Amino acid sequence: MAGALRIGILAGESSGDILGAGLMQALRTRHPNLQFHGIGGPLMQAQGMVSRHPMDRLSVMGLVEPLKRLPELLRIRRDVRALMLREKVDVFIGIDSPDFNLGLEAKLKQAGIRTVHYVSPSVWAWRQRRIHKIAQATDLVLALFPFEAAFYEKYRVNVCCVGHPLADELPLEPDRAAARHALGLDAHKPLLALLPGSRSAEVARLAPSFIATAQRLQAALPALQVALPAASPERAAQLRELLPAQSGITLLQGQSRLLMQAADAALLASGTATLEALLCKLPMLVCYRMAPLSYALISRLLRVAYFSLPNLLAREALVEELVQNQVTPDILAPRVQHLLEDRARHERLQARYREIHMSLRRNASERAADAVLALVAGRAP
């Protein structure tokens, strides 16, 4: 196809699929003739890319767990590298998944292909020496948050802070009544959202404690509604196995964002969902639990006081964080009940949530597209 701009792009999980689809759509509005090659989920495929491999084969968390899948992951990476070289892509964009993408980016950059890493690894939080590997592997880092860009600039790494697409997309004031109506939930009863994550391992580690906590709260607060969204059909099947008969918990197919707009409080896994909950102005209790060995290794390397995005963005403890053995119904239940009942604290959070929301509203997908095209054209983003 004469004159086509060939773009390699790879996302390894659902949050990356969202970012990738937004970037692809913005690129299409700026360039009339594009070809996309790589790996992505349903949203990126809807933008015209045929995924080389199922995206969920790359979705592995922790330090130890990826070792079990290492032969498959290395085989996929070799295949994608060969694809990029064969298609002679003009630029390769790795979205998040740094353990997979950075090694691929380094090989492609050595072969003369421009490389972009979209979503900064948590290099500012742990394993800070990775900054040198990132500098060698990438021509440009697209950071979502201002504090990340400041870190890269200190090390003279080419960075562009684009903000977060969710901040552009979500309204400053959520319409809770409309969201509840759309979900078929009672507008006058309290509503708790359970969000134990989108990965199988996350759900296995967090959902049993979340469900047991919700049942205790329903016994203490008979009017309480509880809803649990499944990120995929696979997660829905997994959650059905974990839910007791007659649990009183509503299992939703997707609709996590609508649920966060409708709820009074959330009990959720650390990750992108915590940012989404902040943007929905939702009080939350954030939990993190991983394999014991992985946690033992990571906890010794951490260089920040917090792990959840709301606290990192605020640079203060806006939301409570619980880790590993703290994630039990005995500890969770009274804290979540306090979240549901403390309306004064909820109101105090609103101003800080709104400030953070505004700071991240930067037309992220459009800014990212402009930066990528500037790089391809040889201009400074």
When pLDDT is averaged across residues 313-323 and rounded to a whole number, the result is 90
**Using CA atoms, how far apart are residues 47 and 40, in angstroms rounded to an integer?**
10
Which residue ranges make up each domain of the chain? Answer: 5-163+362-376, 170-360
Query: What per-residue confidence (pLDDT) applies to 67?
Result: 65
State the average pLDDT for the chain.
90
pLDDT score, position 1: 42
Fold of domain 170-360:
Rossmann fold (3.40.50)
pLDDT digits (tens, 9 = 90+) for 50-62: 999 988 877 665 5
- CA distance linking residue 371 with residue 334, whole number of Å: 47
What pLDDT sits at residue 192? 98
| Chain centre to alpha carbon of residue 71 | 25
Is-contact 277 268, C-beta < 8 A? yes
Beta bridge partners of 95: 11, 118
**pLDDT tens for each residue of 206-235:** 999 999 999 999 999 999 999 999 988 999
Pair type for strands 114-118 and 140-143: parallel
Q: What confidence category does residue 4 fall into, taking pLDDT thresholds of 50, 70 and 90? A: confident
CATH assignment of 5-163+362-376? 3.40.50.2000
Element (H, E) at 199: none
Winning range, highest mean pLDDT, from 83-87, 97-101, 120-124, 316-320 = 83-87
Residue 369 has pLDDT above 90, yes or no: yes
How much of the chain, in percent, has pLDDT values that exceed 90? 68
pLDDT for res 63:
55
Average pLDDT of the residues in 337-348: 88
| Whether pLDDT at 292 is above 80 | no
Q: Would the CATH topology of 5-163+362-376 be identical to that of 170-360?
A: yes
Give the angle subtended at the CA of 221 by the CAs of 218 and 222, to the nearest 5°.
70
Instruction: Give per-residue pLDDT as tens, 94-144.
Output: 998 888 999 999 999 999 999 999 998 877 555 667 888 899 999 999 999
Q: Is the dihedral of CA 4, 95, 260, 278 positive or negative?
A: negative
Phi and psi at residue 180, in whole multiples of 5°?
Answer: -65, -40
Q: What is the mean pLDDT of residues 3-20?
A: 90
pLDDT-derived band at 304 (thresholds 50, 70, 90) equals low
- Closest to 193 (Cα-Cα) out of 214, 175, 178, 212: 214
Q: Are 200 and 225 in contact (CB under 8 A)?
A: no
pLDDT tens per residue, range 21-43: 999 999 999 998 999 999 999 99
DSSP helix/strand/coil, 10 = strand
Is the whole model's pTM more than 0.85, yes or no?
no
Nearest to 142 by CA among 132, 152, 154: 152
Scanning the structure block, which residue is given the tokens 């959070």? Answer: 349
Total length of the chain: 381
Contacts of 303 (CB under 8 A, 6+ apart): 124, 125, 126, 128
